[in-house]
Amino acid sequence: MPTRALILICLAAGLMTARPHAQETLSSVQRELDRVDKEIEREKDLHKTERKRAGDFENEKASKLKALQDQLRLTQGKIDSLKRQLDRARGQKSGFKAQAAQFQARQKDFVKALAKQIRDLSAALKKDFPYDRDKRVSDLEELANAIDNGVVGMEDGLNRFFALSQASLDFAYDTEVYRGTFHGADGSDHEGSYVRLGAALLAFAGEDGKTAAYLARVDTGYAWREADLAPETRQDIFTALKVAQGKVAPQLVNIPFQAPKPVEIAK
């Protein structure tokens, strides 16, 4: 009896001692479970966040992909349009090349025609009024050679030709008086003044008041007339000189003029 009681007392004491330890273990387990639940909830939240982020990424990717595809379609459309424009430009370029070739050919023909026209005028001037003739002829021939050799361009050559032609026209309308020496047919020299009235008259009046001569047009070109001049002709030459010099009032003057004989055309 005492031994059994002792055993019961010991068991009771053991139970009283083990109960607080068991309660502490249950509390720890519960805390761990709570912690795990929180971790699980946190993982779920992270998973939801990741899924939302992944969804947003997919949506953004799809949107960007669509925009890129649209841009590619627009770019392809522009490329096709540029190709068509390039084809048209190539066709126009070919047409322009053909036109340029025609223009260059016409330009070459025009340059040749211009040089020929200048040389024809130069040849005609060789038979023209002899005053300053060599220079006028030389200027035209030099211009024609410069155009042929490409030294002077077409436009510049045309402008120079017009300028020389205008100078020839102006030459035919101006008046000039200058001092000089006249070489007579007998070899004698006479000092005096020359008077030129356009391309119609070139005359010499000697300072001795007697010698007079004028340039006359003959069948072979031009020749000086000095011998057997009528007194009226001499006086007209001296009067023309004084009028040109401004020594007398302007007046009508009979100027000597001699034309070549007309050529008879056979019928």
**pLDDT at res. 11:** 47
**pLDDT at res. 102:** 82
**pLDDT at res. 20:** 54
**pLDDT at res. 109:** 87
Q: 114: which 2 tokens?
A: 């211009």
Query: Nearest-CA neighbor of 157 among 83, 107, 224?
Result: 107
pTM above 0.75, yes or no: no
Phi and psi at 259, nearest 5°, equal: -105, 155
User: From first to last of its 267 residues, what are the pLDDT tens digits of the chain?
Assistant: 455 455 445 445 554 554 555 566 878 878 888 888 888 888 888 888 888 888 888 888 888 888 888 888 888 888 988 888 888 888 888 777 877 778 778 888 888 899 999 999 899 888 888 888 889 899 999 999 999 898 988 889 989 999 988 888 888 888 899 999 999 988 899 999 999 988 888 999 999 988 999 988 888 888 899 988 889 999 999 999 999 888 999 888 887 765 545 545 444
Q: What is the dihedral of CA 88, 91, 93, 96, to 10 degrees?
A: -120
Please give the Cα distance from 35 to 230 (Å, whole number).
152
Half-sphere CA count of 79, side-chain side, radius 13 A: 6
**pLDDT at res. 144:** 93
**pLDDT at res. 9:** 53
Q: How far is CA 89 from CA 86, 132, 199, in A?
A: 5, 56, 58
Is the separation of the CB atoms in 254 and 232 below 8 Å? Answer: yes
